[in-house]
């Protein structure tokens, strides 16, 4: 898998959520991760949400795929509902 992101967005994400996109990309190594299409609104492109564990922390990553490259848009600790969904489906 190849990953990319906007470095300015990554820095803002670190300040807001304390999570670096490079570390968050490790969520894709979690065999129990949950991946869904993010259809909460029309983003003009298909976006996905993945919930999985990195360093014993359940994260939620939003990304899109452009020409076989995963472009990370945001990464944060999973909220209560996301954690419960992840743990229930493990």
Q: What is the pLDDT of residues 6-27, one digit of tens each?
A: 999 999 999 999 999 999 999 9
Token readout for 70 is: 């995963």
Structural domains of the chain in order of their starting residue, each with its CATH number: 2-89 (3.30.2310)
Residue 73 has pLDDT above 90, yes or no: yes
For residue 40, pLDDT beyond 90:
no
pTM of the model: 0.91
pLDDT for 90 beyond 90 = no
Close Cβ partners of 61 (under 8 Å, ≥ 6 residues apart): 24, 25, 27, 49, 50, 51, 52, 72, 74, 75
Closest by CA to 20, choosing from 79, 76, 69, 82, is 76
């Amino acid at each position: 898998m190849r990953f990319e992101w906007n470095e300015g967005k990554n820095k803002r994400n670190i300040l807001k959520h304390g999570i670096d996109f490079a570390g968050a990309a490790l969520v894709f190594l979690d065999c129990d991760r949950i991946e869904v299409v993010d259809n909460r609104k029309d983003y003009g492109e298909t976006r996905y949400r993945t919930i999985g564990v990195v360093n014993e922390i359940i994260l939620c990553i939003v990304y899109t795929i452009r020409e076989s490259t995963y472009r990370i848009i945001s990464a944060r600790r999973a909220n209560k509902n996301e954690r419960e969904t992840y743990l229930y489906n493990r």
